[in-house]
Amino acid sequence: MPGFELPSNISSTTRATRLAAVQTEMNNGVYYNARLDPKNYLEGPLSMNPATRLRQMLARPGIIAPGICDGISARCALEAGFNCLYQSGAATTASRLGQPDVAIATLNDFVGAAQMVCSLDPTVPVIADADTGFGGPVNVARTVRQYAQAGVAGMHIEDQVQTKRCGHLVGKQVVSREEFVTRIRAAVIARDSITGDSDFVIIGRTDSAQILGIGEAITRLRLAADAGADVCFIEGVKTAELLESTVAALAPKPVLVNVISGGLTPSFTVQEAEALGAKIIIFSLVSCVAMVHAVRAAMHSLKKTGTDFTSAQGMDPKAFFEVMGLNDIIELDKQAGGSAFQVI
């Protein structure tokens, strides 16, 4: 597999074995890993490992993943009962940098956000945006390893050029089919080289539908699936009919759809998207757009009235900290024999 490298910190024997396995699985251009076959995840209790759990969820009824942008939004999503979270690239860029989603955030920004989010409940799968992989094949492989180490269950990698933009903006440009497939292969090889047989999920995303047409988008996603992508992500699909036909064309690979109110994709409900065949439905900006409205209103209210009484809506500091996990901390301290939080 010219152009691909396994991590330098594994032995030559392990390296040879894993490369041979990859080459066998890539025979005739189609990747297959018997260990990761969806039928292996159909039965049994959900795993405590988030990547394994995500594969189990993919083999069972659909997945709803609200977009989170920081610790507060992640805590609120968990409190609401969601069992999968989506770390949006746009939301992460906005919350960490106060910048728009136009290729400003770096790998370190994304990994830092993921480490925090994944630590809140390590059993809940987090799907994370990885943009274009932050460089060539070696950079893509590095991204996979760092995401997996951070506790991320799966990531999506796209076919935009390096100076990418939000998938629901116009003026996008995409790389060639060959370069896109190279990114997917690099991600798969990196995943398969992780010690301990990682279940990390690779999601191939194409932004080509708005530029080159839905036929090209489907072709690219088929190529991504052949290269080892576990899930196909069609960005900016504009009608229910196109989503349904895309799902049918890519079957049995699961399809992810990104719903953004006011974006290129219709504002499908979860039920509508599932009826059209989508397996994963993400709502990328649900938290950060709501946050803008709420914080704007609070700031204007404070400026106008000179108090935050109205915007607080009766939530005192202790109630706020309880949303952030205060009760878990009190219980842990108590179980350990501590007394720091007997009165709080």
Task: Say which of 31, 41, 86, 147 is annotated catalytic.
Answer: 86
Say how far apart CA 77 and CA 331 lie, in whole Å: 22
Task: Say which of 70, 158, 226, 230 is annotated catalytic.
Answer: 158
Q: Is 192 a catalytic residue?
A: no
Q: Is 32 a catalytic residue?
A: no
Q: Is 230 a catalytic residue?
A: no
Task: Say which of 101, 159, 207, 230 is annotated catalytic.
Answer: 101
Say how far apart CA 114 and CA 118 lie, in whole Å: 6
Task: Say which of 166, 168, 185, 230 is annotated catalytic.
Answer: 166
Task: Say which of 84, 258, 274, 288 is annotated catalytic.
Answer: 258
Q: Using alpha carbons, list the distances in angstroms from residue 208 to 103, 157, 161, 219, 297.
A: 17, 13, 11, 10, 37
Q: Report helix, strand or coil for 231.
A: strand
Task: Say which of 70, 129, 159, 199 is annotated catalytic.
Answer: 129
- Supply 201's token pair: 């999920």
Q: Is 86 a catalytic residue?
A: yes
Q: Is 179 a catalytic residue?
A: no
Say how far apart CA 326 and CA 334 lie, in whole Å: 12
Q: Is 147 a catalytic residue?
A: no
Q: Is 101 a catalytic residue?
A: yes
Q: Is 258 a catalytic residue?
A: yes
The continuous run of DSSP H or E covering 92 comes out as helix 89-97
Task: Say which of 53, 183, 205, 220 is annotated catalytic.
Answer: 205
Q: Is 205 a catalytic residue?
A: yes
Task: Say which of 70, 131, 226, 274 is annotated catalytic.
Answer: 131
Q: Is 156 a catalytic residue?
A: yes
Say how far apart CA 32 and CA 6 lie, in whole Å: 18
Q: Which residues contact 140 (CB under 8 A, 6 or more apart)?
A: 133, 134, 157, 183, 186, 187, 190
Query: Which neighbouring-strand residues pair with 67?
Result: 86
- Catalytic residue numbers? 86, 101, 129, 131, 156, 158, 166, 205, 235, 258
